[in-house]
Structure 1
Amino acid sequence: MRILLHDFGCYAFIIPLARWLADQGHQVLHLSAKELVGPRGTPVHQEGDPPGLAFDTVRLGHPFTRYALPRRMLDEYRYGRGLARKSLEFRPDLILSANTPPLAQAVAFQNARRRRIPCVAWVQDIFSLGAAPMVERLPKPIAALALAALRRLEFGTLSQSAGLIVIAPSFLASLQAHGVRQPMTLVQENWAAPTQATLERQKSWADTQGIGGSKIILAAGTLGRKHDPALLARLASDLTKDPEVRLIIVSEGPGRDHLETLKTARALPNLILLDYQPAAQVPAMLASADIGIVQLNAVANGMSIPSKVYSYAAAGLPILAAIPQTNHAAWLIRHYGLGLVVEPDDHPGFIAAARRLLEDASLRQACGAAGLAFTGQHGNIAAIGGRIMAFLEEVRGLTPQD
């Protein structure tokens, strides 16, 4: 089968899936957004890669706009056209599209349906449910119309897809509540794999950053509207009592900019702000940390599950989470003993949980070991790939062919 695997965010865990699918004899084109600013995997050929694996990108010519709605919608449209052109060149038998913004996905899927190519949407986030803060900047009547149109676009595209992959059962309820009742649906959690740096527990990254020997609390990834930078600043303020502790934020964008302002205003020398690190450095970065922070605001519950839970667990990193207790990630952390969870608005509880993890080495060790065990149980790419491939073959078999 010729499979176009569109990985908009270029997630590190999806690239091995492309490689595994090609190992099974399929022709696989892994596509990602060239100019999306954020943490990225490394979509490049490795020695021993199967001949049927190819990597390419969709380009806009400028960074993808995240937070300014009119410019974002224009970028989404242009991106969808670019994705459709790549599809036309590759001529796939099936498209699997992960975490693609609604308008871009609608444009690409509409083009594919005209050519009778089945399209499977891999739902990592429900964009329109989190768009309210961005849309509310518009005048009220226009904002209401824009939000309704965005939801019709997203849920309509998902309803018309040939199949859906969702990352937790809770997503099914959210989609069904908005009229999406797709009979061809697979629930497949995200995953991560242990890295060599994790197993060796090297501290090279911290030494390079000039913070070797410190206790490191790490928050790495996007700081967007689903997160609370002020909570991180409050934690940094509390940690000034302990000169050996550093709070490292690895991010870019408005949330990072806000933390820059707070760092200066509150004189927080222990708050270290870094840009996104090259993918090759991420394993060493995770191995250098003692605790990993996961955030998700209450407004984003039901539309998002922090994937950092999987990457931190795979690194043997104890998790400090400020996320709704009903979120699937919170259940994972509690059920498997991966760390400590508090509600996102419980700032005193968050700081107390951080203190508990910092002061209890045996707890950190137990959480780290639980993370590696969890990853061993849930991160088998052959088992995951087999489930996804069987689903894709079933979807294709139900799609009328020319």
Structure 2
Amino acid sequence: MELTFGLQLLTAPWYRPDVVVCVSPPLLAVALAATRTQLTPHRPALGVVVHDVYSRALVEMGAESGLSARAVRAVEAFTIRRADGVAVIHEGFATDLVCTFGVDPRRIREVRNWTHIAVPDPAASADFRSTHKWGDDEIVVLHAGNMGTKQGLENVIDSARLAGERGLRVRFVLLGDGHRRTDLQAAGAGVPNLQFLPPVPEAEFPAALGAADVLLVNELPGVAHMAVPSKLTSYFAAGKPILAATDESGFTAEEIAESDAGIRVPAGRPDLLLREAVRLGTDRALAGRLSEAGRRYSDLLLSTTGAIDQYEQWILDLAATRRTTHSTREGEDP
């Protein structure tokens, strides 16, 4: 699908745009768009919004060697270097782009992902909790989003199993979908403190977050700088304490520390994950303080209006740069 879309970019009419903006991933389609801009008369400015750094992912997922890995790095380098401007969703990505690909830091701009959900309605959250039979005496720990390799959700299953063995009223809920879901369900079969839920409609998502006692980010050990979990923006807005099982030097840990909205435990430690889940679910004062901090962080840094304004200015700057370049070239023509 990505290749098909990219090939369409090469042949579709563009009608002389001033700026072309692409979002990576998908990397291959963006690379083909970059190629198209190079071949277009009166070349438009190319802006690339980087959500994930592929080369970093190869390292952290243990696939940094081999022909395919080298090919991916080469494609990513080609694409980023040909961009007139790069927008990153976290300042840590800028470091990788400068050090790995030699991108001029003046061409990089940080624009944070914005919160796309409404503040949960307490009544709707209570209904959601009741519908799914989550008891008032249970601590519900909710992981919402993709179930892939980098999430390392076997750690959550182990924590749920441990809760059952200890007779604790802690329910771990995995809400969403992904290529690892079937395997995870098989691994968690028969674990009473574990529940899988399918993705919910967008309108119902805030209620699902608000129905939980603790919102969970879980990452595979070693995952640190390949991406910033998009779920965090929703978690901050939901006003619930966040529990992050992640590398202490990673972007997720940085976000948790900067926001003061949660607690971090090392990735791959189900015992510590369970211990802190119980603490957040029983210490009302702590949970309240973290929840309020998350809401403040969301309001201050992750507003939709602020992010869109920054993107608008970035695109205007790209267009101005391209017009200046064209004017210079035309003035030099004989």
Letter in 2 for 1:77: L
Contact 1:198–1:316 (CA<8 Å) still a contact in 2? no
Cα separation, partners in 2 of 1:97 and 1:327, compared to 1, 3 Å: same
Cα separation, partners in 2 of 1:200 and 1:269, compared to 1, 3 Å: same
Cα separation, partners in 2 of 1:235 and 1:390, compared to 1, 3 Å: same
TM-score, normalised via structure 2 length: 0.86
Matched, 1:367 2:290: yes
Contact 1:174–1:303 (CA<8 Å) still a contact in 2? no
Q: Secondary structure at the match of 2:216?
A: strand
Letter in 1 for 2:50: V
Structure number with larger C-alpha Rg: 2
For 2:50, the equivalent position in structure 1 comes to 123
Counterpart CA distance in 2 for 1:83 and 1:316 is: 41
Counterpart CA distance in 1 for 2:125 and 2:319 is: 45
- Number of aligned residue pairs: give it: 320
Cα separation, partners in 2 of 1:135 and 1:366, compared to 1, 3 Å: closer
Counterpart CA distance in 2 for 1:326 and 1:354 is: 21
Contact 2:80–2:103 (CA<8 Å) still a contact in 1? no
Cα separation, partners in 2 of 1:340 and 1:135, compared to 1, 3 Å: closer
**CA deviation string 1:36-69 (max 9, x = no partner):** xxxxxxxxxxxxxxxxxxxxxxxxxxxxxxxxxx
Matched, 1:235 2:123: no
Counterpart CA distance in 1 for 2:85 and 2:251 is: 22
Contact 2:259–2:293 (CA<8 Å) still a contact in 1? yes
For 2:77, the equivalent position in structure 1 comes to 155
- How is 1:56-205 mapped onto 2 (pairs within 5 angstroms)? 75-83=1-9, 88=13, 92-115=17-40, 116-131=43-58, 144-182=66-104, 183-192=106-115, 195-198=118-121, 202-205=125-128
Q: Secondary structure at the match of 2:120?
A: helix
Q: Please state how far the C-alpha of 1:251 moved relative to its aligned partner.
A: 2.4
Letter in 2 for 1:234: D
- What is the percent sequence identity of the aligned residues? 24
Contact 1:158–1:180 (CA<8 Å) still a contact in 2? no
Counterpart CA distance in 2 for 1:320 and 1:134 is: 23
From 238, 257, 264, the equivalent of 2:182 is 257
Counterpart CA distance in 1 for 2:155 and 2:192 is: 16
Q: Secondary structure at the match of 1:277?
A: coil
Cα separation, partners in 2 of 1:91 and 1:251, compared to 1, 3 Å: farther
Counterpart CA distance in 2 for 1:270 and 1:249 is: 11
Cα separation, partners in 2 of 1:135 and 1:372, compared to 1, 3 Å: closer
**CA deviation string 1:320-360 (max 9, x = no partner):** 10111222331221233211002213333222212211221
Contact 2:243–2:276 (CA<8 Å) still a contact in 1? yes
Letter in 2 for 1:100: P
Counterpart CA distance in 2 for 1:384 and 1:392 is: 12
Cα separation, partners in 2 of 1:322 and 1:166, compared to 1, 3 Å: same
Matched, 1:337 2:260: yes
**CA deviation string 1:154-212 (max 9, x = no partner):** 12101101210012221122122222314321012223156142466732222233335
Contact 2:140–2:214 (CA<8 Å) still a contact in 1? yes
For 1:309, the equivalent position in structure 2 comes to 232
Contact 1:80–1:107 (CA<8 Å) still a contact in 2? yes
Contact 1:101–1:127 (CA<8 Å) still a contact in 2? no
Unmatched segments (≥5 aa) in structure 2: none
**CA deviation string 1:94-134 (max 9, x = no partner):** 22222322212111222234332222111111123324688
Counterpart CA distance in 2 for 1:99 and 1:154 is: 9
Matched, 1:376 2:303: no
Between 288-297 and 189-198, report the one with greater CA deviation: 189-198
Contact 2:239–2:295 (CA<8 Å) still a contact in 1? yes
- How is 1:206-217 mapped onto 2 (pairs within 5 angstroms)? 206-211=129-134, 213=136, 214-217=138-141
